[in-house]
A and B are shown apart, each in its own frame.
Chain A
Amino acid sequence: QLQLQESGSGLVKPSQTLSLTCAVSGGSISSGGYSWSWIRQPPGKGLEWIGYIYHSGSTYYNPSLKSRVTISVDRSKNQFSLKLSSVTAADTAVYYCAREGEGLDFPFFDYWGQGTLVTVSS
Chain B
Amino acid sequence: EIVLTQSPGTLSLSPGERATLSCRASQSVSSSYLAWYQQKPGQAPRLLIYGASSRATGIPDRFSGSGSGTDFTLTISRLEPEDFAVYYCQQYGSSLRVYTFGQGTKLEIK
Which residues of B sit under 8 angstroms from A48, Cβ to Cβ? 101
Q: Is A121 an interface residue (CB 8 A)?
A: no
Interface size class of B (residues with CB under 8 A): 20 to 34
A46-B88, A47-B88 known; A109 vs B45 contact (CB < 8 Å):
yes
B3–chain A nearest beta-carbon distance, Å:
12
B32, B35, B44, B100: the one within 8 Å of A96 (CB): B44
* Contact across chains for B101 and A47 when beta carbons are under 8 A apart: yes
A77–chain B nearest beta-carbon distance, Å:
22
Mark interface residues in A36-67 (1 if CB within 8 Å of B CB, else 0): 01000000001111000000000010110000
Of residues 37 through 94 on chain B, the ones whose CB sits less than 8 Å from some CB of chain A are 37, 43-47, 50, 56, 88, 90, 92, 94
A47, A106, A112: the one within 8 Å of B50 (CB): A106
| Interface positions of B (Cβ within 8 A of A) | 1, 32-33, 35, 37, 43-47, 50, 56, 88, 90, 92, 94, 96-104
Extra contacts besides A107-B33, A109-B37 (12): CB < 8 Å: A46-B102, A48-B101, A49-B98, A49-B100, A63-B96, A96-B44, A102-B97, A107-B99, A108-B90, A110-B47, A112-B45, A114-B44
| Interface positions of A (Cβ within 8 A of B) | 37, 46-49, 60, 62-63, 96, 98, 102, 105-110, 112-115
